[in-house]
Structure 1
Amino acid sequence: MGTPFGKSHPVLTHNRAGQIDNGPHYPVNQSSGHTNIQHNKEGNTLKYTSGPLDLDLNTAANELDLTFRSPGGKKLTGQSFRSIGYVRDQRTEKHRYEDGIYAERQGYMLAGLDLGVGERVYGLGERFGPLAKNGQTVDIWNEDGGTSSELAYKNIPFYISSKGYGVFVNHPGKVSLEVQSERTTRVNISVPGEEIEYFVVYGATPKEILNRYTTLTGRPALVPSWSYNLWLTTSFTTNYDEATVTGFLDGFRDRDIPLGVFHFDCFWMKSYHWCDFDFDSDMFPDAVGYLKRLKERGLKISVWINPYVGQASPLFEEGRKNGYFIKRTDGSVWQWDFWQAGMAVVDFTNPDACTWYNSHLERLMEMGVDSFKTDFAERIPVKGIKYHNGADPERMHNYYALLYNKIVYETMSARVGPSQGLLFARSTAPGGQAYPVHWGGDCESTFEAMAESLRGGLSLMLSGYLFWASDIGGFEGTPPPALYKRWVQFGLLSSHSRLHGSSSFRVPWIYGEDCSDVLRDCVKRKILLTPYILQEALRGHTDGTPLMRPLFLEFPEDLNTYAVDTQYMFGSNLLVAPVFSEEGEVTFYVPETPNDGSGKWVSWFDHSKSYEPGRWYTETHGFDTLPILIRPGSVTVINPAIKAPEDDALSGVELLVNGRPNSETVIELVNSAQTDEVLKTVRLSSSADGKLEASGHPVKIVYVA
């Protein structure tokens, strides 16, 4: 039932050997790490070693239990008394009383993993409730529920424990986890069917756990540097003819606000023809020329798509005739009316359907489209349907999002090359970190929604993902100016930054010219951080560490950090505490930094202002600042000379030094044109007078403390 992570040796329990497994299955990488098995028949024990993790099994009759131990022999978790079982439930649609002795029951495999005193659990995908999942019941089942409930677009059956391990449940169907909610000493895991498989992933630090987990399920992919610039969207139901859009773009230019990407949301296609992949000729009579004019302004282009085809779409009949849609068991096309009339769903298990879908993406890329927003993919049916390849419909429900994003991402990458393609995806499943970027979905225009968005993003980052964004200002409703400015500050200190709404625009001057000032300052600050972002992203691509991270991921020795969910680290060096109040008051914690000497944290805005580690602070900030603190003993690479993230990566580089950095500090200058490539390596050493000297490339050293 359980397997430590090293070389993959799945341990499965089957109730009935005659069952058929039609998949799908999440891709899991194999490891050639050290394994060893010792069996003591007299003592009824089995000891299994995989890499640094030990598993002790008691194999005595009716006494089966498992104990996972760290390298020092300390218990991490295990399955103890009455924690393993198979149950059948007649309270399901599968059961019909009139069938008598042949009545079926839904079967579930159960596994209860022990929790220790004070142990906290994190992750499980993008979840918008409390960051620590203790006391919650979590169903791993993708749904379109916004950001203010237990429903989630991005469900990942992987959690990290504060005790030094992670657990990945390798099951693509609905995985239910009761995290200290049914049994106060356990995480109870149940899956439908007759087998269960999970991996226990040991790590001396939370970063090491993520490193091993992403080795198992896939490393996060990199994205092109231009994607770190500001994105502006048309919003959802607003009017965005060329005159309106041109006016907005002129407004950004006239106010000296950098802008990198323009996104067309749903109504670039005719209403409810989604998707037919054709610009609405009434709104865009010269779509090719229009895109060309936008690109002449230096903009990249993104367009909204989804995996559905409405019956009004000209493509519907083509897809029906050729068998490109998910079908009912009687062979007819599965359709419903809850998003658009007669909506069908593309069957991505059909290779011909994939080729058909991809041909439309390729045509759009020929027109000048650089990225696709892969929306939806949560409303995937499970009853009375069949897939082209015979896959289990319930197991396909979550997996469908992974397949959808994979197909679109690989179509783009085939054209632009590695590390140069990207999506803006709403839903995902394990392994989806290979197809970035993901955004948080439909949030409201409130401070509470801004805070829940941050919690969701941090939970996703603890699930193997490197990049994340939110709808700046909130999607539903119209943000008041104070909220708009605070979300701008937060959104421009996220990996990706997009202004997007539902029925109202998000251009800043609508909310007041002071909003334009805040946006300009925040965008320019993010652009000058480009070398730092590129360096941190490349490291995350290599070891699985996310760009935005909860404090405990960076400072696991400081126990105070495990309860903090209103602030985060942006990379290794910058602490960010967004302001969640109209008055500008913010309370934040400054972590202990035992490995960084006795130095103090320093304000980004006022280098004379320092903060003692291990203390809480309350401040009131105007809209021109927020708490951004520079870590003691750190070196942060910036470039104030560049105007866009894709500009020259080598000219104008500066190093911000806070205190005394490690004598072996190395800075990697990443190629802004090819983000998986290091152009130069800068090494720092101390000179005779105690000052730092840089070798490898000329840089300016700026001491902030």
Structure 2
Amino acid sequence: MKFTNGYWLMRDGVDALYAREAYGISADPDRESLHVLAPAAVIRGRADTLNLPTFDVDVTSPAEGVIRVRAEHWRGATAYPGFPLDEDEPGGRDYVTVTANGDGDGETGEDGATVTLTTGGLTAKVVKGAPWNLTFLGEDGRTLTESAGKSLARFKLRPDANVTAQPVGEFGVSMDGSAYDESDVFTAMQLRLSVGETVYGLGERFGAYVKNGQTVDVWNEDGGTASEQGYKDIPFYMTSNGYGVLVNNRGHVSFEVGSENTEAVQFSVPGEAVDFCVIYGPTPKRILDRYTRLVGRPANVPAWSYGLWLTTSFTTKYDEATINSFVDGMAERDIPLAAFHYDCYWMREFHWCDFEWDTRFFGDIESTLRRLHEDKGLHICAWINPYVGQQGDMFREGMEHGYLVRKPDGEVWQTDFWQAGMGLVDFTNPEARDWFKGKVKRLLRQGVDAIKTDFGERIPRDVVWHDRSPKLSMHNWYTQLYNQAVFEAIEETYGKGNACLYARSATVGGQRQPVHWGGDCESTFNGMAQTLRAGLSLTSSGFGFWSHDIGGFEGAHPDPAVYKRWLAFGLLGSHSRLHGSSVYRVPWLFDEEDRRNGVEPAPGQTAVDVARRFTKLKLELMPYLYEAGLQPHENGTPVMRSMFLEFPDDPTCRTLDRQYMFGPSLLVAPVFTYSGEVSYYLPAGVWTNWFTGERARGGVWRQETHGYDSVPLWVRDGSVVVTNPGETKPDRTYGDHALVSVFLSDDADGAGADGVEGRAEARVTEIDGSSVTFTAVRTGDGGVEVRSSDGRAFAARLGSTGGIVESVGGVATL
């Protein structure tokens, strides 16, 4: 939120205190910390120390390459909780160096003296004296960012203050948007932006991928995808200057990204303290590696989850016969399905969420699910939310045992917004948590494999939590307790590596419980584009997996052209689901819509054709995709990457948000037009078109026109892509009888992704954890030799359309 009125003035009703100098600075090597006393005025003599507010600033290192700063005005004020951090044990860590005046310890006394803390190439430096300063340096001594001048502040608001938080009604910060209604005190920090520095992340945000110029409130809301609100608000950002910042506060964090002070990112929080971590890269991938090590790596997901999911959609009418018609219809049209999802109405209306199947439509549900498993080869997902309508027995049970959130007067908190008289499960109560997990486990025992954890954003502000958490700190944090409980129930039932959510809301920590999807998007090309922007922002915020509703969620009669373009986009992502609101999303219905409109698609251009083509392409790519899907857990690198994340040194890639990298080797540029026209950028190097085999030199923009059965899909030079052509299921043995496609150019501009010209390799990991490596090396006579690390049989080819050579003894010569 904005506290100033232009550059010089304050907004009405706002009083400000600023840190004006680093007055007392000290270094403690034993505790591996720095301490700075920063008064709100420059001290000229002893009399100046009277009646003078100060900030206490503590600088520590919770992990290698990470520096944590906590700045407090009053230490005894209410402390807003932060996130669980996987901190290293302090003391004796050889990667932390603390110095004062260069001699190692002690309190400095002269202006100009310095204290520093260095960890993993990142240094925090404070120089004694005015003005206030805290500088962060990279390993090459370059300034990454700094807090200097009027950058650490405490703002006191009067009731008439002209400062607003995000106005979000009954569930949000306030009824009228007044920040005073949330807190009369806020603490803020500004970190300088360099000229041309760009900012990314802050969770799943539907506006521009580059966040410069935006105001972002970290306050989860069910606001749809065409708004400034978000389902997954993450107080973490990274920049093109080689560092990331996590604001360690579970509650409302407001970011002004060059939008109050155009030279800085400002973040403000309610209360008398601000707590944040600076995370060094210098590359974006290294930033995410260190960030996810600090807040938790994404879990691995089961292999079956990468296949195509089909749902009942939202408000449609369905029963077992309807579901079988969809499943059988997909099989008859040769479109492989991996999962089927029952949305809300598997439960009776007004009863959500009581975990009871509606017996009017679903009788012997266990037999039904068994048939879908055994006869159809499908995995099953079911929809839930943490709200309990008062019509079901679950509400009575929760009320009697104290499992539902209560108001200050002791009554159960209820609302008619969503389900009549619904209450909210109190996950801060361990007994309520176990009760809810028990309901989930019963559902799993009936034959459900995965859970769609919808909602979790509509969390009231004026309630009392079992563990007495500060009320506003629970609004964002609630979703983590909810999703974590459900994820644990699945893991405890099926084992680690076999748990899968389909979650809508999240906060820091949510990346541990994949998968997340993009919420209720519009069935338009704009809806498709804003969905992609949101996915790029989320995967730049520590989330390794991401999905969305193919064809869009909203829309009584979605446009067949949009649906077909979205199929290519949605199936070239980590997780792919056909889902909508009031219309089923099976592809033949869109072909019928075309024909009703007098349109007869050309061969290969029907929705059925497009769905079949890209579903089979994704299954073919499973050895490559499964390997890419292990990276989030290993090092925090997401499956779907922005161009900036993969090519941070290319200035053109910094702003691209209509294309992406699918794993390390494949570039995808979705088509957002009826005509099929698309404009996209190929970074420097040599690229090969996956479909046509065309080779092109990068560093250029391309303009093309594509049919529905095509999309720009390019392979980066220096890649080995392992596939299983003709495969119809995602969970199989990937390395056996695989096709190894080698992309090695024969010129100096074609050095591989690892920078080694004439050599490339790919690891293929199996579901059981075993692996094989395929290595391609250009030989002296201009050929290419391809080897499997364990001598297994495979086929190989140069490019994606070259002639296929069978290996002999685990070796193929091309």
The two structures have a TM-score, normalised by structure 2, of 0.82
Partner residue of 2:409?
Answer: 330
Within the candidate set 583, 603, 607, 2:689 is matched to 603
Structure 1 residues without counterparts, runs of 5 or longer: 96-102, 594-599
The answer to whether the aligner puts 1:639 opposite 2:724 as a matched pair is yes
Distance of 2:397 and 2:572 partners within structure 1: 44
- Superposed displacement of residue 6, structure 1: 3.6
The answer to whether the aligner puts 1:615 opposite 2:700 as a matched pair is yes
Correspondence list, 1:601-680, <5 A: 601-607=687-693, 609-660=694-745, 661=752, 662=756, 665-672=760-767, 674=768, 677-680=769-772
- Superposed displacement of residue 244, structure 1: 1.0
Structure 2 residues without counterparts, runs of 5 or longer: 1-56, 102-107, 165-180, 593-605, 746-751, 803-814
Higher mean alpha-carbon deviation, 282-291 vs 36-45, is at 36-45
The answer to whether the aligner puts 1:355 opposite 2:434 as a matched pair is yes
- 1:159-215 deviation per Cα after TM superposition (whole angstroms, max 9, x unaligned): 110111111111111100000001110111100011111111111211111111111
- Superposed displacement of residue 22, structure 1: 7.2
Aligned amino acid, residue 643 of structure 1: T
After superposition, the Cα gap between the structure-2 partners of 1:104 and 1:292, relative to the gap in structure 1 and judged at 3 Å, is closer
Partner residue of 2:29?
Answer: none
Q: Is the 8 A contact 1:590 1:615 kept in 2?
A: yes
Aligned amino acid, residue 371 of structure 1: A
Higher mean alpha-carbon deviation, 370-379 vs 478-487, is at 478-487
- Superposed displacement of residue 346, structure 1: 0.3
After superposition, the Cα gap between the structure-2 partners of 1:57 and 1:234, relative to the gap in structure 1 and judged at 3 Å, is same
Partner residue of 1:39?
Answer: 100
Distance of 2:659 and 2:292 partners within structure 1: 24
Aligned amino acid, residue 72 of structure 2: H
Distance of 1:573 and 1:208 partners within structure 2: 18
Aligned amino acid, residue 221 of structure 1: A
Q: Is the 8 A contact 2:742 2:776 kept in 1?
A: no
The answer to whether the aligner puts 1:588 opposite 2:680 as a matched pair is yes
Percentage identity across paired residues of the two chains = 47
Aligned amino acid, residue 38 of structure 1: T
The answer to whether the aligner puts 1:566 opposite 2:651 as a matched pair is no
After superposition, the Cα gap between the structure-2 partners of 1:493 and 1:105, relative to the gap in structure 1 and judged at 3 Å, is closer
Partner residue of 1:99?
Answer: none
Q: Is the 8 A contact 1:24 1:396 kept in 2?
A: no
Correspondence list, 1:463-482, <5 A: 463-477=541-555, 478-482=557-561
Distance of 1:511 and 1:352 partners within structure 2: 47
Where 2:233 maps in the other structure, the secondary structure is: coil
- Superposed displacement of residue 46, structure 1: 1.3
- Superposed displacement of residue 493, structure 1: 0.4
Q: Is the 8 A contact 1:642 1:648 kept in 2?
A: no
Partner residue of 1:694?
Answer: 787
- Superposed displacement of residue 664, structure 1: 5.5
Partner residue of 1:157?
Answer: 235
After superposition, the Cα gap between the structure-2 partners of 1:280 and 1:89, relative to the gap in structure 1 and judged at 3 Å, is same
Report the RMSD for the aligned CA atoms in angstroms.
2.0
Partner residue of 1:66?
Answer: 134
Within the candidate set 770, 773, 797, 1:681 is matched to 773
The answer to whether the aligner puts 1:15 opposite 2:73 as a matched pair is yes
Q: Is the 8 A contact 2:307 2:337 kept in 1?
A: yes
- Superposed displacement of residue 666, structure 1: 3.5
Distance of 1:574 and 1:280 partners within structure 2: 44
Where 2:234 maps in the other structure, the secondary structure is: coil
Partner residue of 1:98?
Answer: none
Partner residue of 1:508?
Answer: 587
Partner residue of 2:122?
Answer: 53
Correspondence list, 1:46-195, <5 A: 46-60=115-129, 62-91=130-159, 106-195=184-273
Task: Report the structure number with the largest CA radius of gyration.
Answer: 2
Where 1:442 maps in the other structure, the secondary structure is: coil
Higher mean alpha-carbon deviation, 689-698 vs 403-412, is at 689-698
Of the two structures, which has the highest relative contact order with CA contacts closer than 8 Å and spacing of 6 or more? 1
Q: Is the 8 A contact 1:92 1:106 kept in 2?
A: no
Q: Is the 8 A contact 1:585 1:618 kept in 2?
A: yes
Distance of 1:124 and 1:400 partners within structure 2: 18
Where 1:328 maps in the other structure, the secondary structure is: coil
Q: Is the 8 A contact 2:523 2:558 kept in 1?
A: yes
Partner residue of 1:522?
Answer: 614
- Superposed displacement of residue 14, structure 1: 2.6
- Superposed displacement of residue 522, structure 1: 0.5
Where 1:448 maps in the other structure, the secondary structure is: helix
- 1:375-423 deviation per Cα after TM superposition (whole angstroms, max 9, x unaligned): 000001112x111111111111111111111111011011111111110
Where 1:156 maps in the other structure, the secondary structure is: strand
- 1:103-134 deviation per Cα after TM superposition (whole angstroms, max 9, x unaligned): 99611111000001001000000000000000
Where 2:69 maps in the other structure, the secondary structure is: coil
Between Structure 1 and Structure 2, how many residues are aligned?
A: 686
Q: Is the 8 A contact 1:30 1:216 kept in 2?
A: no
Q: Is the 8 A contact 1:669 1:681 kept in 2?
A: yes
The answer to whether the aligner puts 1:252 opposite 2:321 as a matched pair is no
Aligned amino acid, residue 317 of structure 1: R
Higher mean alpha-carbon deviation, 190-199 vs 677-686, is at 677-686
Partner residue of 1:264?
Answer: 342
After superposition, the Cα gap between the structure-2 partners of 1:239 and 1:104, relative to the gap in structure 1 and judged at 3 Å, is closer
Q: Is the 8 A contact 1:3 1:198 kept in 2?
A: no
Q: Is the 8 A contact 1:409 1:435 kept in 2?
A: yes
After superposition, the Cα gap between the structure-2 partners of 1:412 and 1:33, relative to the gap in structure 1 and judged at 3 Å, is farther
- Superposed displacement of residue 648, structure 1: 2.2
Distance of 2:233 and 2:70 partners within structure 1: 23
Aligned amino acid, residue 618 of structure 1: Q
- Superposed displacement of residue 538, structure 1: 1.3
